[in-house]
Amino acid sequence: MLQALGGFFTYFVILAENGFLPSTLLGIRILWDSRDVNDLEDTYGQQWTYEQRKIVEFTCHTSFFVSIVVVQWADLIICKTRRNSVFQQGMK
């Protein structure tokens, strides 16, 4: 559950940093995936071409995957050092 939350958080943060706030994402799928639409506007009025949108989308996919891997690493360390700290037990 925590891994999915971390993944979706990073996904939406990257979209928001690029101008697509979560409120504007509802109902935008058909326009987003259309190759014919090369003037899709984000929240701030900037126009995005199909190629630019796909670059942002693939960046979101990558960040989602990386955040899940990082959370799994943290979970591994937490499970390994349940009683002792990492500094007491080490990573043997």
Residue 24, φ and ψ in degrees, nearest 5: -90, -5
Position 76 scores a pLDDT of 82
pTM: 0.80
Position 27 scores a pLDDT of 92
Position 86 scores a pLDDT of 66
Position 91 scores a pLDDT of 67
CB 34 within 8 Å of CB 50: yes
Strands 47-48 and 40-41, how do they pair?
A: antiparallel
Q: What residues have CB less than 8 Å from 73, skipping those under 6 apart?
A: none
Please list the pLDDT of the chain residue by residue as tens digits (92 residues).
888 999 999 999 999 999 999 999 999 999 999 999 999 999 999 999 999 999 999 999 999 999 999 999 988 888 876 677 767 777 66
Residue 41, φ and ψ in degrees, nearest 5: -95, 140
